[in-house]
Amino acid sequence: MYYRWLDRWDERRTRRSDDVKKVTDLVLAPEFAFPETEVVTEIGAFCETAERAASASDAFFSPPSALPDVIWDRGFLRFPSDILTETTENNLVHAQLTRSKRRDHALLVFHHWNASSRNAQLSRFFSRHGISVFEMALPYHLERSRPGSTYADHMLSPNLGRTIQSFRQAVVDGRQLIRIVQRAGYEKVSVLGVSLGSWVAGLVAAHEPAVKKASLLLTAGDLAEMVWTGGATRHIRASLEGRIELSDLQRAWAPLNLENHATKLARPDLDVQIVLAKRDRVVLPALSERLVRRLEGADSMPDVKRLNCGHYSLTLPPYIIFTGMRVSRFLNR
């Protein structure tokens, strides 16, 4: 009885923004994803270019050597993004800081898709446990939202090139933020990502040697298959189906697939935690388990917690309490 109610509650939450999510057209837009390459006009060439970027991901997700100018202002820090887009608001990175009494451990938090606010309760929880929290706005979210948009459609969409650009921008911004917090005196750096933010956190952890712990909540590896099968991205599948096969979408988004970076996530000095929901209909549990197996196959031993709830009901007691305590122990041990 309880789990039937829980499943219905999750399904209502999943469909809550369906009325504003639009079915559009497949767009390659390689100039967003691969501005340095020659003109790409068909899907096969796009996929080949994406696979080359995935195989050279250290360069693809590398920030420039120079640190940006940073403004610290009343609990926020702001700096210009190194990847420029046509949306002016999106080109300035905003991160909110919740300080701990200790100043040695910084946690970068990457929120979920279409977040309308930061999680003050989460930040206070970790700050009480000795960790300063930096909540960075993902591209096209919060202060970086595109004027007139009703949701963050430029972050994840049937526009293949812009989606890659948005994730690349998020990873480069995150790596710059890590350099900034290190310069501010934080010696230990961890990352935490929720749902779509877990892909960003995973990509940052895989490519940034300064990260020593990565907590990935409601995550999986294959972004393309998550979009194809997930309840919150039905409109994107409807936009793509009949125009591109899932196998080609997986190739096109190869740089964003955490399974392709499993070896980097399995490096000896990085601890990885995965929290998955066994009743999840947004990020299917089978996809999460596949990432776990890929990490284990790369000689990693991730800390895995499986909760009997759905994607959104993870935020309800007792699941959110279990999660908070598990993550806190993982980050502090």
Q: What is the pLDDT of residues 66-123, one digit of tens each?
A: 999 999 998 999 999 999 999 999 999 999 999 998 889 999 999 999 999 999 999 9
Q: Which pLDDT score, from 0 to 100, does residue 169 have? A: 98
Q: How confident is the model at residue 27 (pLDDT cuts 50, 70, 90)?
A: very high
Exposure string of 131-168, with b = 16+ CB inside 10 Å and e = fewer, is bbbbbbbbbbbbebbbeeeebbbbbbbbbbbbbbbbbb
Q: How confident is the model at residue 19 (pLDDT cuts 50, 70, 90)?
A: confident
Q: Which pLDDT score, from 0 to 100, does residue 102 have? A: 84
Q: Which two tokens stand for residue 269?
A: 């000095």
Q: What is the pLDDT of residues 197-247, one digit of tens each?
A: 999 999 999 999 999 999 999 999 999 999 999 999 999 999 999 999 999
Q: Which two tokens stand for residue 208?
A: 């940034």
Pairwise pLDDT comparison (253 vs 22), residue with the higher score: 253
Rounded Cα distance between 137 and 122, Å, is 15
DSSP codes joined into one string, 81-137: -SS--S-GGGGEEEEEEE--S--SEEEEEE--TT--S--HHHHHHHHHTT-EEEEEP
Pairwise pLDDT comparison (96 vs 16), residue with the higher score: 96
Q: Assign a CATH topology to domain 2-17+37-332.
A: Rossmann fold (3.40.50)
Percent of the chain with pLDDT over 70: 100
Q: How many residues does the chain have?
A: 333
Bridge partners (DSSP) of residue 273 are 215, 303
Residue 37 Cα to chain centre, angstroms: 25
Residue 38 has pLDDT above 80, yes or no: no
Please give the average per-residue pLDDT across 248-252, as a whole number: 98
- H/E/C letters for each residue in 153-188? CCCCCCEHHHHHHHHHHHHHHHHHHHHHHHHCCCCE
Half-sphere exposure of 42 (CA within 13 A, CB side): 1
Pairwise pLDDT comparison (205 vs 7), residue with the higher score: 205
Q: Which pLDDT score, from 0 to 100, does residue 288 have? A: 98
Q: What is the pLDDT of residues 131-166, one digit of tens each?
A: 999 999 999 999 999 999 989 999 999 999 999 999
Percent of the chain with pLDDT over 90: 91
Are 95 and 77 contacting, i.e. CB atoms less than 8 angstroms apart? yes
Average of per-residue pLDDT values in the chain: 95
Residue 1 has pLDDT above 90, yes or no: no
Half-sphere exposure of 178 (CA within 13 A, CB side): 27
Please give the average per-residue pLDDT across 302-310, as a whole number: 97
Q: How confident is the model at residue 41 (pLDDT cuts 50, 70, 90)?
A: confident
Q: Where are the domains of the chain?
A: 2-17+37-332
Q: Which pLDDT score, from 0 to 100, does residue 304 have? A: 98
